Every structure is written in C-alpha cells, then in structure tokens.
C-alpha cells in the first residue's frame, strides 16, 4: 500500500494504491496521523485500491467519525467494481460518502 497525502488549508487529498488490509490499514492510519489531517475535509482517492478488508472498512469508519467530530467531511472517490461490491455487502455504500 502506498499513500500520497496532499494537504492544503482545511482539505487533505489522499491517493491510495494497493490493498487496504490489516497491515496496510495501520500503516495508512499512522501516515494520516503524521500528516495531521484531523482538522481537514478528507478525500480518499481509491483509483489504485485493488481490495479492502474489514480492517480497511473499520479505518474508514474511524476516519468518518473523526471528520464529523471536528465538523469536517470525508469522501471516497474512484472505487473500482470489486471495492464497490465490498462496500455494498458491508452496507458502507450508505454510511460512507462515495463520489
């Protein structure tokens, strides 16, 4: 998993490549903490995400809650068919903003 984080004022864009699983979710969580995106609207670009596990879904829920608690928004964009199906089965297509 690779993540490129671009932060501008109150907005952070995160371009993610690879798998978002148990190990890489922790890595992404650490990178986001280091970039201090807690006070930003967060846009996660899933163009390069091949797969997301339950650990990745838990991270998305935590990020969504963190954003909402600070008065910000989180959205996921450019999800592929496989990830979209995982979102749908898990009910995340209604809980997470997908653009």
Average pLDDT, the chain: 94
- Looking at the structure of the chain, the number of domains it has is 1
User: 27 or 94: whose pLDDT is higher?
Assistant: 27
Question: Whole-prediction pTM value?
Answer: 0.93
Domain around 14: 2-98
Quote the pLDDT of residue 93. Answer: 84
Ordered strands of the 2-8 beta sheet: 2-8, 11-20, 41-52, 74-77, 97-98
Quote the pLDDT of residue 38. Answer: 86
78 conformational bin, left if phi > 0, alpha if psi -120 to 50, beta if neither? left
pLDDT digits (tens, 9 = 90+) for 43-65: 999 999 999 999 999 999 999 99
CATH label of the domain that carries residue 6: 3.30.750.24
Quote the pLDDT of residue 21. Answer: 96
């Amino acid at each position: 998993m690779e993540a490129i984080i671009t932060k501008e004022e109150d907005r952070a864009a995160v371009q993610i490549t690879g798998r978002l699983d148990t190990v890489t979710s922790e890595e992404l969580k650490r990178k986001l903490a280091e970039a201090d995106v807690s006070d930003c609207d967060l846009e996660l670009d899933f163009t390069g995400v091949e797969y997301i596990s339950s650990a990745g879904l838990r991270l998305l829920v935590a990020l969504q809650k963190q954003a909402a608690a600070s008065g910000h928004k989180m959205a996921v964009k450019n999800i592929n068919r496989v990830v979209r199906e995982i979102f749908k089965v898990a009910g995340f297509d209604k809980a997470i903003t997908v653009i």
